[in-house]
Structure 1
Amino acid sequence: MAQVQPILSNGAINGFADKPDKVFAESFPRYAPASETGLDGPDQVLYSKLGTTTEPDGRCRIPLDDSEENSVKPMSVPGQLMRSAKLYPNHIAMVSRLGVDGKRISYTYREYELQVRTVARAFLKLGLERHHSVCILGFNSPQWFISDIAAIYAGGFAAGIYTTNSPEACQFIAESSRANIIVVEDAKQLEKILEIKKNLPLLKAIIQYDGIVQEKNVYSWSELLEIGKNESDDKLESVLKTIAANECCTLVYTSGTVGNPKGVMLSHDNLLHNARGIIKYVDLKSGCEVIVSFLPLSHVAAQVVDIFTSLYMGGTIYFADKNALKGSLVDTLTVARPTAFLGVPRVWEKIYEKMQEVARNNGPIKTWIANWAKAQGLQYNMNKMNGIDYKHWGYVIAKWLVFNKVKAALGLDRCKLFATAAAPLSTEVKKYFMSLDIPIMEAYGMSECSGAHTLSTEKKYRLGSVGCVMKGLKTKLDNLDNTGEGEICMAGRHIFMGYLNDPEKTKEAKDEEGWLHSGDLGRIDIDRFLYVTGRIKELIITAGGENIPPVHIEHLVLKELSALSNALLIGDKRKYLTMLVSLKTESNSDTGETLDSFTEDTKIWAKSIGSKSTTVSEVISTKDPIIFKEIQAAIDRANLKSISNAQKVQKFRILPHDFSIPTGELGPTLKVKRNVVYKMYANLIEEMYQ
């Protein structure tokens, strides 16, 4: 391998630079060769002897072996977009959401690449420096994608900011990533940046891509394009020559449920290797796939699927509108008719609840037909899951009579891959969709592994499992206990470079042998399926020293009573376990905030057990004995499944409202912020221990 003096600092971490990388030395006998000149970009590899770095201008070696997956030559994001623009010049890359004129704008791959180049030239003109960032604050749109990749073309980092972030949280990310430019969607998001602008000395320009710009010194999207059109390609081309596939191109900030978020440094090769692996593992076809973009692009799952997987295979992206998670998603689905669909558990649960509501209005004949069809669908898909792919006549009729119509109504009639990620999806919901011939595949991964590490497929599927590890990647369980559970650890070309400017946290996450320690507990069965059983940091250690996985107990309770939306276990350093529960209620379609009134299902349930309550406030103010008794009975049934007395829930309290993003209990990806909930309801918790 040719070795030259690096043009930029390698960003060595004390303790990482000179220690042997055992797992890569054994599993990956060689590394991608380095460029002779350092000016052969953007698809070059720059010399590094490091497997980890936390410096913004650092780079990491890329491990290769003779397998089909790991022998693929590294490529950069700009190199990949240029390739796709040549392969699919007239193929539609992106279709915008409806504009104020009621029309959608389409971009071919040729137009996509040209716009990226134009915006990259504008970013350079406005002062974007090498290894500094462009922060993007807005809902999914073509402008989001273009800004993201243009930042990378211009030698900077793309750094997404959640639209739910406060001005203070926006400031932290802008400071951490050394933002020179911030791109915002509209006046609402612009307000946050204007509030903190005085605290950002490195900020040189603000761009607003939607609505009429009314602030001075803020560029509109059309003005940005005009700036780029008036610049030559000379500076951009000179920057592209210095780019390497083994340096950072994207920063994904963790949700920061405890302390400030960490900036996960992902290289060009990290992201494209993961995208390539997903495409091959689930058998997506080049130039054929359609995806709807609606999950937050600040999250790694949406980035790797919507931006990079689509870019790699020449897919078409349809953008949903801002109200997608409040009910309008189906409108976009029926227009786009995607061939693959990824939804977080709450999305699938919302669809499930809506379908249950519709089913209640069916007459007896429709209900009988639906129940018969669902029995056929569940049996067929359970058989298929176990390797028996036999289409019984009952399934064929049910598909024609029911399943095709349901899928068409949801806009999923062309969909061949239904997936979920980011959090566990209940077995009850999975079985329901399986009975409708919509088998939902589970994916497992994290920001630090560029997205997916394991995936389920129709040929590799187990209920409760997150699938098998993708080809070319590695999994092991660390610190195994006597039940066969241990910490899930991952290795491969998709493992992140390090946390930006945070060597200490990096060492905690990525060990000297290159293994990423997930913090998740898991087990692997005889067929190599991975099961996530808990979270190490979420383990409750009682005053008696018993280690208790809260997620398992919470799921037991939720399974016993469908009227409960959330159950949160309490008991760390306490004498016994208690629980906070919330009832399923309606939500505000504009803000997403949960309301006081029960959902229709909850009302029916309450009436069926003899309760007259229709709101949470009624239940709490009257201490409704019937509802309290039913919740206690559900907890008692769950307690019967506990493996010890220490794992039994002794008391509970009903929360005044369900969890939501606006009220603070849920993060942008709809994960529960446990520490936030503990603080919000400290008084209720203390009540249970008095």
Structure 2
Amino acid sequence: MAFVDFANVYEMTRTTVEKYPELEAYRTIVTPDHSESVTWRQFLAAVRRVGKSLMALGVGHGDKISIVSYTCYKWVLTDVGAESVGAVTVGIYHSNLAEDVRYIVDHSDSVLVFVQDLEQLAKLLEVRSRLPKVRKVVLFQGEHEDEWVLSYEQFLALGDGISEAAQEERIRAVGPADVAAIVYTSGTTGVPKGAVLTHDNITWTAQSVQHCTVMHPGEVQLLFLPLAHIFARTCTFTALLTATTTVFARSLDTVAEDFKLARPHWFIAVPRIYEKVHAKVLAGAEAKGGLALKIFRWAVAVGHERGEVLLAKKPVPLGLRLRYALATKLVFSKIQAALGGRVKWCISGAAPLDPAIGRFFHAAGILILEGIGMTENTSFTNVNRPDNYRFGWVGPAGPGIEQRIAADGEIQFRGRNVMREYYKMSEETREAFTADGWLRSGDLGEIDAEGFLRVTGRKKDLIITSGGKNIAPTAIEGVLATSKYINQVCVIGDRRPYLVALVTLDTENVTAWAKEQGISFESFAELQQHPRVQALIEAEVAERNAKFASFETVKKVAIVDEFTIANELVTPTLKLKRGPIAERYAQVIEALYAGA
């Protein structure tokens, strides 16, 4: 494909605005009955106003600004506005603790910080004395009486005295090799590293993504993943390129309702979201029981039969088409309606998706395209295509992206999507690349004759048992997590004689099961330690162990409290922090190996 060599993100944005000025660009769901929208023309005007206000505050070419906020319109507006005048955006998770926020703001040399609300502002005020480089903090929502703090309205008013000519001069000075963003890895180990991404990284990657997935002007994406993570950010840049309408969910708690309000054509999510929807659908069918459950199972079987025909790229026979139409009417239409009723496809990334989950949604008429990327390559290297996909594989590389498997099995990449460096971390930058300039992914995998990539595990997560067997735990964890009673799984076994697992429970389904069984309990904490619950989970694990070789089976299980962002046992994208988990539950793990 032919790539357009945009000078910068602003030029890419302005090109879209010139083509589709009155199309809806962004929509914010305020309440179920009220949304606020802006057109592409209005967005560009707002971007220019943000740029002028940054200039008025003395933000220069290459200066950094941080954003500590949930995903929202002002996040994107501030991001593009900053990049338009050559400033560099640094995203910070709104779930981060004050000390984590301080580290990134300070390490990135940010001179301004934008925060969601007073709750996020409190984190900055707590560490204010240790942020000497920060000139001002700007609130997206609310006001605070302090000369250090501006409301967003006060901030926007500052730019009124900046001339159009002065702003255009700043915009023209921004080139493709200039830095647009520093994206800090959420990190399962060690301190966060800031991947330095250029304007060319961003505009080029957006085009590669568009070639693979094909988004059309005016189509709708629902966005609810954090913009501090590059996965969601790249989707917003691709929307800038394609004139896709982005609808912002109110929060993760309202996503189910927001799907029906937004009615997206496509969306992105991490595997945990798909797993939860899958578990909820199964639990609902089983709760109905009787004829309804039989119809559900029949429909899923028909869906799988049709799915295999589609995967083989063969025409669906008339009889199967008729049966599938009935299955859709009776069962699948309800699942599709829950997602708004017009989803063409959705993307799963940031962690491995269990193939069984992908096949289930495919059976239901919802195509999940699994892909892969890293912060260090602008979140994108591979994705399955709407017309060429497999489950358990992350698809071919995007146009212009090279992939290879090293001698030790590591997947490595090269392309214009790859970062320049880690900010102020020269040693870590050297370690990230091979001697001949390829980016190390840290993933293990294989590439077939058609260029499809399959990820088999993480190099650093690889378990080597005391018997010398090499085991990738993520695949096992994904299969065990298909149980409707299991929420999360962390498999342990490095240098041990066998595998064990720490399991957290699905509160809703386990509670419902306990009530059906007549088990009395005062609290969920009490219930999760009940012998019958332990037996239930052991039975669920034993059933799924049948899918593995003997050395891959989980021999013992311990039920523990949920791994959360708050207790620092998962990252903001819900990846397990294996080291902290093993440390937190060291005694529990030792008990599982007692007598081994």
The bucket for the TM-score relative to the shorter chain is over 0.9
Judged with a 3 Å threshold, the aligned counterparts in structure 2 of structure 1 residues 183 and 281 are, in CA distance, closer, same or farther, namely same
Contiguous gaps of at least 5 residues in structure 2 = none
Moved more, 374-383 or 166-175: 374-383
**In the alignment, which residue of structure 2 is the partner of 1:314?**
243
Per-residue deviation at 1:227?
A: 1.1
- Pairs within 5 Å for 1:416-565: 416-480=344-408, 486-543=409-466, 546-558=469-481, 561-565=483-487
Q: Contact 2:144/2:151 (CA < 8 Å) preserved in 1?
A: yes
Q: 2:83 and 2:336 mapped to 1: Cα distance?
A: 38
- Pairs within 5 Å for 1:37-186: 68-69=1-2, 71-98=3-30, 103-186=34-117
Q: Deviations over 1:279-335 (max 9, x none)?
A: 1211222x2321111100001110001x2010000111111112xx22x11222222
Per-residue deviation at 1:109?
A: 0.9
Q: Deviations over 1:584-632 (max 9, x none)?
A: 214xxxxxxxxxx9343x547x83xx9777965345655x1x4444544
Per-residue deviation at 1:439?
A: 2.2
Q: Contact 1:603/1:614 (CA < 8 Å) preserved in 2?
A: no
Does 2:285 align with 1:354?
Answer: no
Q: 2:347 and 2:511 mapped to 1: Cα distance?
A: 26
Q: Contact 2:188/2:575 (CA < 8 Å) preserved in 1?
A: no
Q: 1:614 and 1:470 mapped to 2: Cα distance?
A: 53
Q: 1:399 and 1:297 mapped to 2: Cα distance?
A: 35
Per-residue deviation at 1:169?
A: 0.8
| SS of 1:380 mapped into structure 2 | helix
Does 2:564 align with 1:660?
Answer: yes
Does 2:257 align with 1:331?
Answer: yes
Per-residue deviation at 1:165?
A: 0.5
Per-residue deviation at 1:79?
A: 0.7
| SS of 1:158 mapped into structure 2 | strand
Q: Contact 2:344/2:367 (CA < 8 Å) preserved in 1?
A: no
Q: 2:311 and 2:120 mapped to 1: Cα distance?
A: 46
Equivalent residue letter for 1:683: Q
Q: 1:599 and 1:280 mapped to 2: Cα distance?
A: 46
Q: Deviations over 1:410-464 (max 9, x none)?
A: 31x2221122111122233223222211121111111111122111124222221
Per-residue deviation at 1:578?
A: 3.0
The TM-score with structure 2 as length reference comes to 0.92
Judged with a 3 Å threshold, the aligned counterparts in structure 2 of structure 1 residues 684 and 247 are, in CA distance, closer, same or farther, namely same
Equivalent residue letter for 2:525: S
Per-residue deviation at 1:187?
A: 0.3
| SS of 1:202 mapped into structure 2 | coil
Moved more, 136-145 or 229-238: 229-238
Per-residue deviation at 1:487?
A: 0.8
Aligned to 1:617, which of 515, 525, 541?
525
**In the alignment, which residue of structure 2 is the partner of 1:262?**
193
**In the alignment, which residue of structure 1 is the partner of 2:494?**
572
| SS of 1:182 mapped into structure 2 | strand
Contiguous gaps of at least 5 residues in structure 1 = 1-67, 481-485, 587-596
Q: Contact 2:461/2:472 (CA < 8 Å) preserved in 1?
A: yes
Q: 2:484 and 2:282 mapped to 1: Cα distance?
A: 12
Q: Contact 2:86/2:178 (CA < 8 Å) preserved in 1?
A: no
| SS of 1:210 mapped into structure 2 | coil
Equivalent residue letter for 2:325: V
**In the alignment, which residue of structure 1 is the partner of 2:582?**
678
Q: 2:553 and 2:223 mapped to 1: Cα distance?
A: 42
Q: 2:559 and 2:335 mapped to 1: Cα distance?
A: 36
Per-residue deviation at 1:545?
A: 5.0
**In the alignment, which residue of structure 2 is the partner of 1:393?**
322
**In the alignment, which residue of structure 2 is the partner of 1:406?**
335
Per-residue deviation at 1:262?
A: 0.5
Q: Contact 1:381/1:439 (CA < 8 Å) preserved in 2?
A: no
Moved more, 438-447 or 520-529: 520-529
| SS of 1:490 mapped into structure 2 | strand
The root-mean-square deviation of aligned C-alpha atoms, in Å, is 2.6
Q: 1:681 and 1:81 mapped to 2: Cα distance?
A: 49
**In the alignment, which residue of structure 1 is the partner of 2:171?**
240
Per-residue deviation at 1:143?
A: 0.8
Equivalent residue letter for 1:518: S
Per-residue deviation at 1:554?
A: 3.1
Per-residue deviation at 1:682?
A: 1.9
Per-residue deviation at 1:192?
A: 0.5
Q: How many residues align?
A: 591
Moved more, 562-571 or 513-522: 562-571
Judged with a 3 Å threshold, the aligned counterparts in structure 2 of structure 1 residues 633 and 355 are, in CA distance, closer, same or farther, namely closer
Equivalent residue letter for 2:228: S
| SS of 2:155 mapped into structure 1 | helix
Equivalent residue letter for 1:598: V
| SS of 1:98 mapped into structure 2 | strand
Q: Contact 2:6/2:12 (CA < 8 Å) preserved in 1?
A: no
Per-residue deviation at 1:353?
A: 2.9
Q: Contact 2:462/2:473 (CA < 8 Å) preserved in 1?
A: yes
Q: 1:303 and 1:357 mapped to 2: Cα distance?
A: 33
Aligned to 2:219, which of 283, 286, 289?
289
Q: 2:396 and 2:450 mapped to 1: Cα distance?
A: 9
Moved more, 659-668 or 261-270: 659-668
Per-residue deviation at 1:94?
A: 0.7
Q: 2:359 and 2:7 mapped to 1: Cα distance?
A: 40
The TM-score with structure 1 as length reference comes to 0.80
Equivalent residue letter for 2:573: T
Judged with a 3 Å threshold, the aligned counterparts in structure 2 of structure 1 residues 476 and 232 are, in CA distance, closer, same or farther, namely same
Equivalent residue letter for 1:661: I
Q: 1:261 and 1:90 mapped to 2: Cα distance?
A: 40
Q: 1:272 and 1:231 mapped to 2: Cα distance?
A: 27
Q: Contact 1:584/1:658 (CA < 8 Å) preserved in 2?
A: no
From the two aligned structures, give the one with the greater helix fraction.
Answer: 2
Question: Between the two proteins, what is the percent identity of the paired residues?
Answer: 32
Equivalent residue letter for 1:520: D
Aligned to 2:504, which of 575, 582, 591?
582
**In the alignment, which residue of structure 2 is the partner of 1:23?**
none
Judged with a 3 Å threshold, the aligned counterparts in structure 2 of structure 1 residues 73 and 302 are, in CA distance, closer, same or farther, namely same
Judged with a 3 Å threshold, the aligned counterparts in structure 2 of structure 1 residues 220 and 342 are, in CA distance, closer, same or farther, namely same
Q: Deviations over 1:183-207 (max 9, x none)?
A: 0010000000111222112111110
Q: Contact 1:540/1:571 (CA < 8 Å) preserved in 2?
A: yes
Moved more, 184-193 or 448-457: 448-457
Q: 2:23 and 2:540 mapped to 1: Cα distance?
A: 54
**In the alignment, which residue of structure 1 is the partner of 2:299?**
373
Equivalent residue letter for 1:459: D
Judged with a 3 Å threshold, the aligned counterparts in structure 2 of structure 1 residues 114 and 278 are, in CA distance, closer, same or farther, namely same
Equivalent residue letter for 2:311: M
Judged with a 3 Å threshold, the aligned counterparts in structure 2 of structure 1 residues 687 and 182 are, in CA distance, closer, same or farther, namely same
Does 2:144 align with 1:213?
Answer: yes
Equivalent residue letter for 1:302: A
**In the alignment, which residue of structure 2 is the partner of 1:344?**
270
Q: 1:385 and 1:210 mapped to 2: Cα distance?
A: 48
Judged with a 3 Å threshold, the aligned counterparts in structure 2 of structure 1 residues 409 and 654 are, in CA distance, closer, same or farther, namely closer
Q: Contact 1:301/1:451 (CA < 8 Å) preserved in 2?
A: yes
Per-residue deviation at 1:368?
A: 4.2
Aligned to 1:301, which of 231, 234, 241?
231
